[in-house]
Amino acid sequence: MNRDCKLLQQALVEVAGVVDRLDDGYQEHLRSCETCRAVVAEELALVRLLDEAAPPEDIALQEQILLTLAERRLRRRWLAAVPVAASLAFAFLGVTLLGGIPAGGLAASIPAWSGGGLVALIQSCGNFLTALAAAGGVLANLITMPWSVAAAAAGLSGMAGLIFLSRRWKYRPVWSARS
């Protein structure tokens, strides 16, 4: 299966299996690719099956199904927030280790009544960068090379973990797992 097949299958999901709504390029690929035609046939069979399916007559069973689906959606939303929370915790830890944000009263230092607000903002940002550079210089003198390498490795593995978690919950149609 090549890239064109995957793009066609994604486009097929977007048009709900209606081949006539596909672009001309996709339809041309569909005429020449046996694998994609088989996928279209499976999609159409699934659409027919879902059209013919009736909800269960047992109201209690129907409510239980809906409740289970709601619980799974809620759990999925919470798990999707894990990378965001980890990023915020990592940023907070970094700020805390650096001793807080210098020029924390930035809004208070901008005079609202004068035209010098932009100048005050630029000066405050410059002070912040100077403090970061000083903190970096102090840390370079305090931390030895093995600890620096270990910290860099921990940071990279944390970023890889966040990427893994965020990609894990990406929506994928059922039939894309077969390819």
Domain that holds residue 116: 80-168
Q: In this structure, are 49 and 1 located in the same domain?
A: yes
Choosing from 34, 53, 72, the residue where a domain stops is 53
Q: Please indicate, yes or no, if residue 179 is contained in any of the structural domains.
A: no
For the stretch 70-83, pLDDT in tens is 888 888 888 888 88
For the stretch 104-155, pLDDT in tens is 554 555 455 555 556 666 788 888 888 888 887 887 787 788 887 888 889 8
133 against 95, higher pLDDT: 133
Q: Please indicate, yes or no, if residue 174 is contained in any of the structural domains.
A: no
Distance from chain centroid for Cα 39: 28
Residue 61: pLDDT band (50, 70, 90) is confident
Q: In this structure, are 38 and 84 located in the same domain?
A: no
Distance from chain centroid for Cα 155: 19
What is the average pLDDT across 95-106? Answer: 57
Q: Please indicate, yes or no, if residue 18 is contained in any of the structural domains.
A: yes
Q: In this structure, are 129 and 94 located in the same domain?
A: yes
What pTM, to 2 d.p., does this model score?
A: 0.32
Q: Please indicate, yes or no, if residue 96 is contained in any of the structural domains.
A: yes
Q: Please indicate, yes or no, if residue 112 is contained in any of the structural domains.
A: yes
Q: Please indicate, yes or no, if residue 176 is contained in any of the structural domains.
A: no
Number of domains in the chain: 2
Q: In this structure, are 88 and 143 located in the same domain?
A: yes
